């Protein structure tokens, strides 16, 4: 995330101690890791938000954050968990950013050509305990009930349920469709920063709100 933020703000890879302090730059994180969130708060006008506690941010709904006020928003391994459609969450991100603001996002991914939605008809759902495991019960728009097992959780049950597996191009295309511009997927492996794995397991994508 720091690598992506550095590219977005400064056009090059910098370590956090080399970021120039500028409290005029306003940013937010979506449950960012405390290891860098605390440092960013000393450099920028930065707020770390959470889904389950204050300060709240659920990008699938209207944002409690003020509109058009943020120079950047960080999202590390969050977008694979948001309820569909992803386009709604990305549209809400755009309302948070000021014109020219940056969205820096990482997600687990595969090398497939397109994003795979695990539950394409997901609408009203709940994860419930059944015997020795957990299942997802969904009621579609047409009222049909579906039950899914073999669920994948990232760090625990509930909202950590993996709802989709992105492809790099799939995420970039979703961002473009939502209205982001200058979308890029950095492909270099800096000595310090985002390192690409083989086989592909994660991707960094940077997009900008039109000025």
> Is residue 138 classed as helix, strand or coil in its secondary structure?
strand
For residue range 142-199, list pLDDT tens digits in order.
999 999 999 999 875 556 899 999 999 999 999 999 999 999 998 776 655 555 666 6
So what's the pLDDT on residue 2?
93
With a pLDDT cut of 90, the percent of the chain lying above it is: 73
So what's the pLDDT on residue 34?
92
d(CA 42, CA 40): 5
Q: How many domains does the chain have?
A: 2
Q: What is the DSSP letter of 20?
A: P
Query: Is the model's pLDDT at 61 over the cut of 70?
Result: yes
Strands (E), 77-160: 97-108, 116-117, 124-130, 133-139, 145-148
For residue range 110-142, list pLDDT tens digits in order.
888 899 999 999 999 999 999 989 999 999 999
| pLDDT band at 211; cut points 50, 70, 90 | very high
51: CATH: 3.40.50.150
| Together in a domain, 57 and 88 | yes
| Together in a domain, 92 and 195 | yes
| Together in a domain, 87 and 184 | yes
| Together in a domain, 52 and 147 | no
| Together in a domain, 106 and 134 | no
| Together in a domain, 151 and 179 | no
| Together in a domain, 91 and 134 | no
Q: What is the DSSP letter of 79?
A: T
| Together in a domain, 142 and 93 | no
Query: Is the model's pLDDT at 74 over the cut of 90?
Result: yes
For residue range 81-111, list pLDDT tens digits in order.
998 889 999 999 999 999 999 999 999 888 8
Instruction: Give residue 76's domain range.
Output: 2-115+162-208
Q: Which candidate, 125, 123, 105, 207, places its Cα nearest to that of 166? A: 105
- The strand pairing partners of 207, in sequence order, are 103
| Together in a domain, 94 and 170 | yes
| Together in a domain, 89 and 175 | yes
- The strand pairing partners of 117, in sequence order, are 164
| Together in a domain, 74 and 124 | no
Average pLDDT over residues 1-29: 95
So what's the pLDDT on residue 113?
86
| Together in a domain, 96 and 62 | yes
């Amino acid at each position: 995330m720091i690598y992506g933020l550095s590219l977005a703000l400064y056009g090059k890879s910098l370590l956090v101690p080399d970021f120039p302090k500028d409290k005029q730059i306003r940013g937010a994180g979506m449950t960012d890791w405390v290891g860098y969130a605390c440092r960013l708060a000393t450099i920028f006008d930065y707020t770390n938000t959470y889904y389950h506690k204050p300060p709240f941010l659920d990008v699938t709904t209207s944002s409690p954050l003020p509109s058009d006020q943020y120079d950047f928003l960080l999202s590390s391994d969050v977008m694979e968990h948001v309820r569909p459609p992803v386009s709604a969450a990305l549209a809400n991100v755009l309302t948070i950013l000021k014109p020219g603001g940056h969205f820096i996002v990482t997600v687990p991914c595969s090398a497939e050509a397109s994003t795979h939605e695990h539950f394409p008809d997901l609408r009203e759902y709940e994860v419930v305990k059944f015997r020795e495991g957990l299942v997802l019960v969904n009621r579609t728009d047409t009222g049909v009930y579906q039950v899914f097992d073999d669920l994948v959780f990232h760090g625990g049950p509930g909202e950590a349920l993996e709802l989709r597996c992105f492809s790099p191009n799939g995420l970039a295309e979703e961002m473009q469709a939502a209205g982001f511009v200058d979308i890029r997927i950095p492909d270099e492996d800096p000595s310090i920063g985002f390192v690409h794995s083989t086989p592909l397991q994660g991707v960094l994508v940077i997009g900008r709100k039109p000025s």
